[in-house]
Chains A and B, each alone.
Chain A
Amino acid sequence: MAVMAEPVAAQVKRSSLWSRAFESRNFLGAMFMVPAIAILILFLAYPLALGFWLGMTDTKIGGVGRYIGFANFVSLSKDSVFWLSVFNTIFYTVFASIVKFAIGLYLALLLNERLPFKSMVRAIVLLPFVVPTVLSAIAFWWIYDSQFSIISWVLIKAGILTHYIDFLGDPWNARWSVVLANIWRGVPFVAITLLAGLQTISPSLYEAANLDGATNLQRFRHITLPMLSPIIAVVMTFSVLMTFTDFQLIYTITRGGPINATHLMATLSFQRAITGGNLGEGAAISNAMIPFLVAAILLSFFGLQRSRWQQGGRD
C-alpha cells in the first residue's frame, strides 16, 4: 500500500495544480491569449523583423545575403529616384487623404439625414470600395488613356478641347490623375465609417442645441465634430496608412511612370526587390516607410484624440 500511496499522492498533487491553474483567471486569460499572440508573432512580428534584417543585408533574389549594416540606407540617401519616390508618396498621401476626408465627411453627413432611397444611396456610395482594386485601376487606366480616354473624347466632342489630354504622359498630370483615382477608391471607406460614428451621437444633444438656438454650423462645430473626433482619428489613421502604402493602383495605372513621376515608395520597393532582384534594397525602402507611418499614427492618436478637442475646446 505504501508503494501505491506515493504515486497516487503525486498524481493528486499534479492534478490539483493543473486544476487550480485553470481556476485562476490570470492563467486562463494568458492561455486564451496564446493563439492570438502566436498569430501576431508568426504573421506580423516575424515578417517585420525579417524585413528589418533584409534591409541590413545585400540579399539578392534566391541568394543568401551578408550583413552590411546601414549600407543600403546610405546608398539610398544618394539615390535621386528614391527621394523622388519619397516626395511622390508624401504628395499622394497628403492630397488624397485630405480630399477623401472632406468628401467622406460631406457624404456621411448627407447620408445621416433623412434621404429618400437611403439604403440604395448607401450601397452606391460603397460601390468603389467593393470593386477589386485592380479592376478599378484598369478602368482608370482606360479613362486616362492617351488615345482612347473617355474624358478627352467627351471634351473634344463638346468642343471644349481640341486635343486629347495627356493624363499619364506628363509628370504632374500623372500625379494628379493617380491621386484622383485613389480618392474615388477611398472615399466610401471614410464616408461609411464616419456615418457609423455619426449614428452614435445622441439626438438629444442636437435637440438641446436647437432649444438654445444654435445654428447648423454651431451644431456641427460644437457637437458633431467633437463627438466624431475619436472615429475621425481611427478613420484618418487607416486612410493615411492605406494611402501611404498603396501599391496596386499605381502599379496597374502607371508602373511608376512617366520618368518615375508616380513611383511611390511601395512600388519602388517592389521594382528594386523583385524585378530588379535586390531584396536587401527593396526591404530597406520598405523600412524607410516606417518612420513616416509611425508619425502618421502618432499624429492621429495624440492630435485628434485630444480630450479638449473632444469637449469642443481649443488648444
Chain B
Amino acid sequence: MSDFNRRSVLKASLGGAALLAGPGIVPVRAAEWTNTPEPNASIRVLRWKQFIQAEFDKFAEQTKKFSEKTGIKVKLEAESWEDIRPKAAVAANVGAGPDLIIGTLDDPFKFPEKLIDVTDVADYLGKQYGGWYPVAEKYGKKGNNWIAIPQGATGGCLNYRISHVKAAGFDEFPKDTAGFLKLCQALKKNNTPPGFALGHATGDANGWCQWALWAFGGKVVNDKNEVVIDSPETIAALEYVKQLYATFIPGVLSWNDSNNNKAFLAGDISLTLNGISIWTVGKNSPDPKQQEIAKDMNHAAMPIGPVGVPTEQQNVLVYYGYKHSKYPKAVKEYIKFMMDKENYDAWEVASNGYVSPPLPAYNDNPVWTSDPKITPYRDCLKRCRDNGYAGDLGYASAAVMGDFVVVDMFAEAASGQTTPKEAAARAAERAKRYYQV
C-alpha cells in the first residue's frame, strides 16, 4: 500500500484517460486542475524582496488579479532572502506565520513534514507545460511527493564590461576556466579588476564558489551523502581560485550580496557574478554614467571547467505552503495561478528576465530574445546543479550552505590564511558534523 500514492493514482488515471482518448471517447486534455479553494479564504504570502521594482509591482498586480478572480484575500509581504530564512524556520517551528513563503534553495527540505503536499500543482504544471528541468524537480520533490514548487532562479551570470574585456585582448568571452583566468589576469593588469564576493553572501559567494568547486570535479558529498570534499579535485579548485583571487579588487572578503552591484555601477570593477539587476538598474538609472556602464556591459554563462559540463549553482526560488495554514487549497490555487504561463510570462517581461524559468516551455517568452544581453539568463536552470550535489537535498545540505562551509574554504585558501590542503581538510571536518547526523 505504501507505493500506492496520489502520484501513482494520477499516473494510472492519465494512462487510462489516454487509452480512452485514443478511440475518441474522452477529449484529450494535457492536464486537469481540480481544486476548490476553501470559502472566504484569506492567505498571507511572504516573498523575497525585489531588486527590480517593476518585477514586484507586476507580482502585486497579479496577486490582486488573483484575489478579484477567486475571492481569496492575499496579504503580500516582502523580506530579503537572508531574512526570509529565519522567518520560515520560526514559522515551521511554532506552527504560525505566513501561509505561503517564496524562499530560496533547499529551505523546505529542513522541515518537509510541516509543508503542504503540492504534488497536484507540480503534476499539473509539469504536464501542462511539458515537464520541469531536472534540477527544478530536485528542488521541489522529496521522495515521491512535491513539497515545494520552484518559481525559477534569480539567475546568476557573469556581468562584464565589453570594452574592458576587449582591451584585455578578448574578442569573445572565454568559455573555459583556463581562458577565464587569463582574462582576469589581463583585466587586473589593465587596472580594471574583477571582483567576486567572498564574504558571507548567501547568493553570490555561494554561487561562484560552488561553481569553482564543481568545475574541477570537487564536491562536498558523493551520491551516498558521504563527505568527500577533502580531495585532489577540491585542492585543484582551491589552487585555481587562489590565482583568481590575486586578480580581484581588494575587499571582496567582506562583500555581501549588494557589494558587487555597487562596485560595478561605480565603475570600480569590470567583471563579477550577478543577476541581471546591475544591467537593469544601470539602464533605467537617471545617472548618465550608470547608463553608459549598462551600454558597455554584457552577460555570459560561467565558464566550463575540466569536468567538461556546466557546473553552475543558482539561487533557486521556491514556493512552499505550511500545513498550519487554514486554507491549504487556497495556497495551492495561488501558486498555480502565479505559475500559469500567461501570468508567469507577463511577470517575466516586467522583471526584464530576472528570474530564469523552471519549465523549459517558458523559454519562448519574447523577453529572452528582446535583447541579446538578456538571453544568457534564460538557461540558468539548464546549466545548474542543486546545492546538495552529488547527494540529497536536506538538513545537511542546507546547513553546510547556511554555515558557509564552502565559501569559508575558498576564502581561507584564496587569502592565504591556510594552504589549500588545510582549507579542504577543515571544510571536510565541518561538513562531517552535519552529514553525520
**A interface, CB within 8 angstroms of B:** 58, 60-63, 75, 78-81, 144-148, 163-164, 166-171, 174, 254-260, 270-272, 274-279
Q: Which residues of B contact A275 (CB under 8 A)?
A: 82, 85-86, 89, 402-403
A-B contact pairs, 16 of them (CB 8 A): A61-B110, A62-B89, A80-B430, A81-B430, A145-B259, A147-B262, A163-B250, A170-B253, A255-B200, A257-B253, A258-B198, A258-B253, A260-B408, A274-B90, A277-B89, A278-B399
CB distance from A30 to the nearest CB of B (A): 34
What CA separation (Å) do A274 and B86 show in the bound complex? 5
Please give, as numbers and ranges, the residues of chain B lying within 8 Å of A272 by CB-CB distance.
399, 403
- Asked if residues A257 and B199 are in contact (CB atoms below 8 Å), the reply is yes
Nearest chain B residue, comparing its CB with the CB of A63: B111
A274–B259 CB distance below 8 A: no
Task: Let me know if B433 and A79 touch, CB within 8 A.
Answer: yes
Interface string of B230-262 (1 = CB under 8 A from A): 000000000000000000011111111001001
Find out whether the CB atom of B254 lies under 8 angstroms from the CB atom of A258: yes
- Residues on the A chain within 8 Å of B89, using CB: 61-62, 274-275, 277
Q: B384 an interface residue at 8 Å Cβ cutoff?
A: no
Asked if B49 is an interface residue, CB under 8 A from chain A, the answer is no
Known: A148-B266, A277-B395. A169 touches B250 (CB 8 A): yes
Contact A62 B426 (CB under 8 A): no
Binding site for A on B (CB under 8 A): 82, 85-86, 89-90, 92-93, 110-111, 113-114, 198-200, 249-256, 259, 262-263, 266, 268, 395, 398-399, 402-403, 408, 411-412, 415, 417, 426, 429-430, 433-434, 437
Known: A258-B253, A260-B408, A276-B402. A60 touches B395 (CB 8 A): yes
Instruction: Indicate if the CB atoms of B398 and A277 lie closer than 8 Å.
Output: yes
Question: B93–A61 contact, CB under 8 A?
Answer: yes
- Given A147-B268, A169-B252; A62-B113 close (CB under 8 Å): yes
What are the residues of chain A within 8 A of B263 when measuring CB–CB?
147
Q: Which of A147, A270, A279 has the most CB of B within 10 A?
A: A147
Q: Is the CB of A164 within 8 A of B251?
A: yes
Set of chain B residues within 8 Å of A255, measured between Cβ atoms: 199-200, 256
| Alpha-carbon distance A255/B268, docked complex (angstroms) | 24
**Docked pose: A54 CA to B399 CA in angstroms:** 18
Give B265 Cβ to nearest chain A Cβ, in Å: 11
Contacts of A144 in B (CB 8 A): 254
A80-B426, A276-B402, A277-B399 known; A259-B411 Cβ under 8 A: yes
- B437: chain A residues at CB < 8 Å are 58
> Taking the nearest CB of chain A, how far is it from the CB of B434, in angstroms?
8
A258–B199 Cα gap in the complex (Å)?
A: 6
Name A's interface SS.
loop
Chain A residues with CB under 8 Å of B399's CB are: 272, 276-278
Which residues of the other chain, B, contact A271 by a CB distance below 8 angstroms? 402-403
Looking at the assembled complex, report how far the CB atom of B312 sits from the nearest CB atom of chain A, in whole angstroms: 22
Query: In the bound complex, do residue A164 and residue B250 qualify as a contact, i.e. CB atoms below 8 Å apart?
Result: yes
Please provide the 4 A-B residue pairs with the shortest distance between their CB atoms, ordered closest to farther.
A146-B251, A62-B111, A168-B254, A62-B92
What chain A residues lie within 8 Å of B110 (beta carbons)?
A: 60-62, 277
Q: Which residues of B contact A168 (CB under 8 A)?
A: 199, 251, 253-254
Give the residue name and chain of the B residue nearest to A79 (CB).
B433
Q: How far is the CA of A168 from the CA of B254 in the complex (A)?
A: 5
Instruction: Please measure, in the bound complex, the distance between the C-alpha atom of A12 and the C-alpha atom of B35, giving whole angstroms.
Output: 67
Smallest Cβ distance from A259 to chain B, in angstroms? 5
In the complex with contacts A147-B259, A259-B408, A277-B399, A166-B85 CB distance below 8 A: no
Which residues of chain B are within 8 angstroms of A274 by Cβ–Cβ distance?
Answer: 85-86, 89-90
Check B111–A254 contact: CB distance below 8 A: no
B254, A257: Cβ atoms closer than 8 Å: yes
CB distance from A130 to the nearest CB of B (A): 24
**Beyond known contacts A62-B110, A277-B395: 15 more, CB 8 A cutoff:** A61-B93, A61-B111, A63-B111, A145-B262, A146-B254, A146-B259, A147-B268, A168-B253, A169-B255, A171-B417, A258-B198, A271-B402, A271-B403, A275-B86, A279-B93
By a CB distance below 8 angstroms, the chain A residues around B85 are: 274-275
B262 surroundings in chain A (CB, below 8 A): 145, 147-148
Could you tell me the distance between the alpha carbons of A171 and B403 in the complex, rounded to whole angstroms? 18
Residue of A nearest to B266 (CB): A147
Contacts of A259 in B (CB 8 A): 253, 408, 411-412, 415, 417
Docked-complex contact B402 and A146, CB < 8 angstroms? no
Determine how close the nearest CB of chain B comes to the CB of A168; give it in whole angstroms.
Answer: 3
Chain A proximity of B109: nearest CB distance (Å): 9
Hey, which chain A residues are within 8 Å of B254, CB to CB?
Answer: 144, 146, 166-169, 174, 254, 257-258
A254 B433 Cβ-Cβ under 8 A: no
Interface contact A147-B251, CB-CB below 8 Å: yes
Residue of B nearest to A280 (CB): B437
Closest to A173 in B: B254
Q: Please, which residues of chain A bring their CB within 8 A of the CB of B113?
A: 62-63
Chain A nearest CB from B320 CB (Å) reads 11
Instruction: Give Cα A255–Cα B198 distance, bound, in whole angstroms.
Output: 12
Of chain B, the residue at the smallest CB distance from A258 is B253
C-alpha gap A78/B255 in the complex (Å) = 29
Chain A residue contacts of B415, Cβ below 8 A: 258-259
